[in-house]
Amino acid sequence: MARRAVAINLGLGAAVAALCLLPLWAVARAAVGPGALSAADWQAIRFTIWQAFLSAVFSVGLAIPVARALARRSFPGRGLLISLLGAPFLLPVLVAVLGILTIFGRGGLLNSGLAALGLPPFSIYGLHGVVLAHVFFNLPLAVRLILQGWQSIPAERVRLARSLRAPQFRVLEWPMLREVVPGALVLIFLVCLTSFAVAITLGGGPRATTLELAIYQAVLFDFDLARAARLALVQYGLCAVAAGVAGLIARPASFGAGLGRSIALGGGSRLFDGVAIGLMAVFLLLPLGAVLVRGAMGLSSLPATVWASALVSVTVALGAVAMVLLIAVPMALLGGRIGRGLALAVPLASSSLVLGAGAFLLLRGLVRPQDAALGVTMVANTLMALPFALRILSPAADQARAEYDRLAAALRLPILARLWIVYLPRMRRQIGFAAGLTAAMAMGDLGAIVFFAAEGQATLPLLMQRLLGAYRTEAAAGVGLVLVILSFGLFWLFDQWGRGNAAT
Amino acid sequence: MRKTAALASAGLIITAGVALADTPVLTIYTYDSFTSEWGPGPAVKAAFEAECACTVDFVAAGDGAALLARLQMEGGTSDADILLGLDTNLTASAVATGLFAPHGVTPDVDLPIAWDDPTFLPYDWSHFALIGREGGPAPASFRALADSDASVIIMDPRSSTPGLGLLMWVKAAYGDEAGQIWADLADNIVTVTPGWSEGWGLFLEGEADLVLSYSTSPAYNIVVDNDHSLRALPFSEGHYMQVEVAGKLAGSDQPALADQFLRFMLTPAFQSAIPETNWMYPAVMPEGGLGEGWSTLLQPEVSLLLSPDEAQALRSAAVDEWRDALSQ
C-alpha cells in the first residue's frame, strides 16, 4: 500500500516536472549549435544567486521573530493582520514596486523624513533595493509558513514541557524550526531566482542582470533559442542544488498526536514581540496603503471593460485553484520524498518565457494559439502555484497520517471516509491558505502568455499593461486597485474558510 | 471612445452583411498597445473592412521583438499576412529570416529621411528624446547631462525597443566614444527599467528628473489633460528616430489583400488614426496638419538613424559596451 502510494506520487511528481521540462526540450530542439556561456552570463548567474540568497535569508531570518511573536501573543486585529500577510505576495510587480517607491523612493516618505532631519537622502536603487522589494514580497509568506509550524505544536506537548520545566525552545521550537525553515528558505530562494521585473527595475543598472533577463534577451531580441535553453538549464541546475541542500538540513519533527488544539506558548518579552510585530506591520502596510491611495484616484477613470476583464481573471484563478488542489492534496497525502520534491522545486525554477515559448512550439499546428491562451494561462498558473500549495499542505498531511493512520487502519476505514473524516479536517486550514494563495497568484500573473495572444477579453494584468502603454497611468492604477481588491478578496475568502472558527 | 465604438459597430454591421459570402481574412500580427481599445487598431480595422470586403484579424504580442520571435518560431507556417510594429533597428533581422516579401510600392511619405526600404513601409515615427519637467534640469546634450547632476531613467536595450533606440542614438552620435559617454552617464542613471511603461511610471512618481521617451510624448499630456509641464529636451548631437514599419509575409495566403492593406496604410483613413492613439507622427501628414497641442513639440534640427544593416551589425557589440560601461 505505502509503496504503491509512493510510486503513484513519484509518477505525479514526474508528470509535473515533465510539464515544465517538455517546453524546455521543445525550445532546445528548435535551437542550433552548442555554445558556451559568456562572461556576462556568468556575471548574471552570480548576481542571480547572490540576490536570491540574500532575499531568502533576510525574508526568513526576519520572519522567525515575527512568527514567534504572532504565535505567542493575542491582540485585537491579529486575525486581520495574519490575513493581510497574504497581500504583498499577490500584488502585481509594478503595482508593488510603485507602492514601495512611494515610501522608499527618491520623493518618498522616508526621504522626506530624512530631509526634514537634515540627513542625506537614501537611494533604493541597487542590490539592497532588490533585496528590500523581495523581502516585502516574501517576508509575509515566510511568516505564514513558520507560524503554521508554531501552531502545529500540540498544546499537550507545551503543557508537558512546562510541567517538566524543560527548555521550551530546545525541545519544541528548535525541532519545529529545523523542519520548517529550510523549506521556506528554498521556496523563497527559488522565487527570487527567476525574478525579472523587480530585480531590473530596482537594480539600478546592468550590474543587476538576472538570468531571466538574459533569457528574455536571448529569445526576443536575438532569437537564440539554444542560448535561452542553456540559461534555462542553468536555472534548473541551481534549483536542484538548492533543493538538495535543503533536503540535507531539514529533519521532520514529530511531536505525536494531540487533540488538535494549539496553545499560546507564552513567555518571552512582550516588548520585543510588540516591536517585531509593529515593525513588520509598518513595513508591509505603508506600501499597501500607498497602492490603495494611488488606485483610488484612478477609480473615476476606469475603462468600461474592467469588469469583463475581472471576470476572465477570476475564472482563470478559480480554474487554477481547482487544478492545484486536485494535484496537491493527493500528492501531500501520498508521501514519498522524490515525487514531492520534483513538484516542489522544478516549476519554481522554470523560466516563464521558456515555458511560454516551449508551449507555443509544442502546440503549434495542433491548436490556434489564440484558442489555447486561457488554457495555457491556467496550466502555467497551476504549475507556478503548485510548489507553494505542496509546501503548505505537506507538513499537515504528514502529521495527520503519522498520528491517525494506524487508528484508521485498525478501524478499517475505507479510503474516502478516511479522507473525509481524518485527513481533510486536519488539513482544512492549510487547504484554505493554499487555495487562497493560488487564486491570488493566478490573478496577478502575466507570465507565460506573451506568445498566446487571446482574442476578446484581456485579463486584468494585461488590461493594466495596455493602459500603461497608452499613457493612461491613472486608469492603470485604478485597474491595479481593482485587481488587488479582487485578488485579496479571493485570498481572504479561501483563507477565512480554512481558518473556520479558529482564532488563529 | 464612443466614436470608436460607433465605428466598430458600423464595421460589424458591414462585415455581418458580407460574412455569408465566405469573406477572406487578413491576419495582422502587431504589438499589444496597437490593438488595444486605446490604440489605433479599432479605427484601422473598421476603416479597412469598409473598403476591402474582408475581415481584419489582429493577433497581438507584447512588442516588436516578441512579434518577430513568434514569427520565427512558426517558421513558414504562420497565419500572418502582415507584420506591423517593428522599428528599423529590428528590420534587418526580419529580412534575414527570409519570411518577408517586397512590397513593390514607391511610397510618398513625410519623414525627415528618405525611404527606400524594399521590404518594409513606415506607418508612423517619432524622435527619441529625454523628457523633463518645466523648471527642471535641461541639459542640452549627452555630455552636458553627464557633467550635470540631473538624474535620468532609461530602458534596457535587451528587453525594450526604446532602450535599444537609445543605445543606437548614442552609437550614431558618438561612434567609438559611445563607451566613454555611457561610463560618464553611469552616475546620472537612476535605474534601467525592463520596458517603457515601467520607466514612464517611475518618472511620473518623481523618481528622476528625466526619462527616455519620445519627442511626441508630451502631446498626450497636452491634448488629453491640458498639462503643459512636460518638455522634450533638444540635444545638440541630434535625435535618433524610431520609424515603425509594416511588411508583408512571403507565405501569406492573401497576398493581394496584404498589398491592398499596405497601400491603405499610407492613406488618410489609416494615418488620421495614428497621432492621438499611438502618440507618434503619422508617416503621411494629413491635409489639415495635426491638432493644437502638437505645434509646441520639439522639432529636432538633426535626425539620426542608422540603416537597418548597420543597426543589426552594431547591436550585439553596442549592448556589450553599454553593459560593461554601466557595470563598473
Instruction: Give chain A's residues under pLDDT 70.
Output: 1-2, 31-35, 247, 250-268, 445-450, 453-457, 501-504
CB B31 within 8 A of CB B60: yes
Q: What is the pLDDT of residues A319-351, one digit of tens each?
A: 999 999 999 988 888 877 777 778 877 888 888
Place of cell 488590461: A463
Place of cell 495527520: A400
A450: nearest CB among B62, B191, B327: B62
Q: How confident is the model at residue B13 (pLDDT cuts 50, 70, 90)?
A: very low
Residues in chain A closer than 8 A to B151 (CB atoms): 106
**Alpha-carbon distances of B46 from A55, B27, B73, B262, rounded to whole Å:** 50, 14, 30, 15
Mean pLDDT (chain B, rounded): 89
Residue of B106, B72, B107, B111 whose CA lies nearest to B88: B111
User: Which pLDDT value is given to residue A373?
Assistant: 80
List of residues 6+ apart from B261 with CB closer than 8 A? B26, B28, B48, B52, B56, B81, B82
Residues in chain B closer than 8 A to A213 (CB atoms): 156, 158-159, 194
The answer to whether domain B2-125+242-293 and domain B127-241+298-327 are alike in fold is yes
Q: What is the pLDDT of residues B56-112, one digit of tens each?
A: 999 887 788 888 998 998 887 888 999 999 999 999 999 999 999 999 988 899 999
- Higher pLDDT among residues B142 and A454, named by residue: B142
Q: How confident is the model at residue B241 (pLDDT cuts 50, 70, 90)?
A: very high
- Higher pLDDT among residues B2 and B158, named by residue: B158
- DSSP for B50-104 reads HHHSSEEEEEEESSHHHHHHHHHHHGGG---SEEEEEETTTHHHHHHTT-EE---
B323: nearest CB among A40, A97, A360: A40
Specify burial of residue B20 (Cβ count, 10 A radius: 0-12, 13-18, 19+).
exposed
Instruction: Give phi and psi for A348, each to the nearest 5.
Output: -65, -30
Residue B98 touches partner A, C-beta closer than 8 Å: no
Q: What is the pLDDT of residues B114-131, one digit of tens each?
A: 999 999 999 999 999 999
User: Which pLDDT value is given to residue A363?
Assistant: 87
Residues in chain A closer than 8 A to B77 (CB atoms): 364-365
User: Which pLDDT value is given to residue A253?
Assistant: 61
Residues in chain B: 328
Closest approach of A306 to chain B, Cα-based (Å): 12
Q: Place domain B2-125+242-293 in its CATH homologous superfamily.
A: Periplasmic binding protein-like II (3.40.190.10)
Instruction: Give phi and psi for B139, each to the nearest 5.
Output: -60, 150
Residue B41, all three cell numbers: 487598431
Q: What is the pLDDT of residues B178-194, one digit of tens each?
A: 999 999 999 999 999 98
Beta strands in A111-176 (DSSP E): none
User: Which pLDDT value is given to residue A183?
Assistant: 84
Closest approach of B122 to chain A, Cα-based (Å): 20
Measured distance CA(A46)–CA(A490) in Å, rounded: 37
Chain B residue with minimal CA distance to A464? Answer: B197
Q: Give the CA count within 13 Å in the CB-facing half-sphere of B182.
A: 26
User: Which pLDDT value is given to residue B18?
Assistant: 44
Give B153's DSSP letter. E
CB B173 within 8 A of CB B135: no
Q: What is the pLDDT of residues A166-203, one digit of tens each?
A: 777 777 777 888 888 888 898 899 888 887 778 888 98
Number of helices followed by number of strands (H, E) in chain A = 21, 0
Give B137's DSSP letter. -
Q: How confident is the model at residue B270 (pLDDT cuts 50, 70, 90)?
A: very high
Q: Mark which residues 322-381 of A lie under 8 Å from B by CB.
A: 357, 360-361, 364-365, 368-370
Residue B230, all three cell numbers: 512636460
Q: What is the pLDDT of residues B282-291, one digit of tens each?
A: 999 988 888 8
Residues in chain A: 504
A370 with B59: Cβ contact below 8 A: yes
Instruction: Give phi and psi for B22, each to the nearest 5.
Output: 50, 65
Residue A219 touches partner B, C-beta closer than 8 Å: yes
Residue A101 touches partner B, C-beta closer than 8 Å: yes
Closest approach of B317 to chain A, Cα-based (Å): 12
Closest approach of B320 to chain A, Cα-based (Å): 8
A303 with B37: Cβ contact below 8 A: yes
List of residues 6+ apart from A442 with CB closer than 8 A? A313, A316, A317, A319, A320, A321, A378, A381, A382, A385
Q: In terms of CATH architecture, what is B127-241+298-327? A: 3-Layer(aba) Sandwich (3.40)
A203 with B191: Cβ contact below 8 A: yes
Q: What angle do CA B184, A101, B33 make, to 5 degrees?
A: 85
CB A137 within 8 A of CB A60: no
Measured distance CA(A400)–CA(A398) in Å, rounded: 6
User: Which pLDDT value is given to residue B325?
Assistant: 92
Residues in chain A closer than 8 A to B131 (CB atoms): none
Measured distance CA(A481)–CA(A461) in Å, rounded: 11
Residues in chain B closer than 8 A to A102 (CB atoms): 205
Q: Mark which residues 8-47 of B lie under 8 Å from A by CB.
A: 32-33, 36-39
A261: three-class secondary structure by DSSP = coil
Neighbours of A372 (CB within 10 A): 18
Q: What is the pLDDT of residues A64-123, one digit of tens each?
A: 999 988 888 888 888 888 888 877 777 777 788 888 998 999 888 899 899 899 888 888
Buried b (16+ CB within 10 A) or exposed e, B115-140: bebebbbbbbbbbbbbbbeeeebbbe
* Domain ranges across chain B: 2-125+242-293, 127-241+298-327
**Alpha-carbon distances of A80 from A70, A75, B104, rounded to whole Å:** 12, 11, 66
Specify burial of residue B1 (Cβ count, 10 A radius: 0-12, 13-18, 19+).
exposed
User: Which pLDDT value is given to residue B115?
Assistant: 94
Measure CA of the first residue to CA of the last residue in chain A; give whole Å. 35
Query: Is residue B169 scored above 80 in pLDDT?
Result: yes
Measured distance CA(B216)–CA(B220) in Å, rounded: 8
- Higher pLDDT among residues B243 and A239, named by residue: B243
Residues in chain A closer than 8 A to B197 (CB atoms): 94, 465, 468-469
